Amino acid sequence: MGVLVSGQGTNLRALVRASEDPAYPARVVAVGANRVGCPALEAARQLGIPAQAFPISANSGSAVIRDSSLAAWLLQQGCELLVLAGYDRILTAPLIDAFPERILNIHNSLLPSFAGTMRAVEEALEYGVKITGCTVHLVDAKRVDGGPIVLQAAVRVEDDDTPNSLLERIHQEEWRILPEAVGLVASGRLRVEGRVVRSVHR
């Protein structure tokens, strides 16, 4: 798998930990980022994983050109599955077409609530919900955060929560369900029927 990152790389580390198990059906072979100074890139390099930044400024200011270069590089690294692990850019056609129905995204809300925003945790607190969480879904070119849902995990909102305290508990669940979802896809154990994703026991 290739992993796209924008931040600290905690979900990347969770995927690497999972892949250390010989029985796990996927390995991280490339890490791409949209920011040169992204800490997750350095984490990948320290782990010996090929890592490269693809800033839009180095690609004629075009997301399409950037994604075309990124897709070509990922395929050269042998990626068959793409995971968005805290990647804060919307994918364009070159990337989506390179990995049809093989792109997973982790979002820090219970979709479809608080979709299409990088402020999902803050918005959940502002709205006053009592339960939030995280969602792993397949990327759909038609809707941001709108693809078929693979896995979700619920997190209770406490009265004294801040965005940071709530996000910390959500992260704990992200680190669990993202590797699980990748394992399901990589092992061919998912069947998509319209919007419904079913786990197939083999």
Residues serving a catalytic function are: 107
Rounded Cα gap, residues 141 and 155, in angstroms: 28
**Residue 200 near residue 191 (C-beta atoms within 8 A):** yes
Q: At what angle do helices 120-127 and 163-186 cross, to 10 degrees?
A: 120
Rounded Cα gap, residues 108 and 99, in angstroms: 23
First CA to last CA across the chain, in angstroms? 22
Closest Cα partner for 187 from 19, 56, 17?
Answer: 19
Closest Cα partner for 55 from 72, 40, 39, 70?
Answer: 70
CA dihedral 122, 126, 128, 133 (to 10 degrees): -10
Closest Cα partner for 70 from 88, 83, 86, 52?
Answer: 52
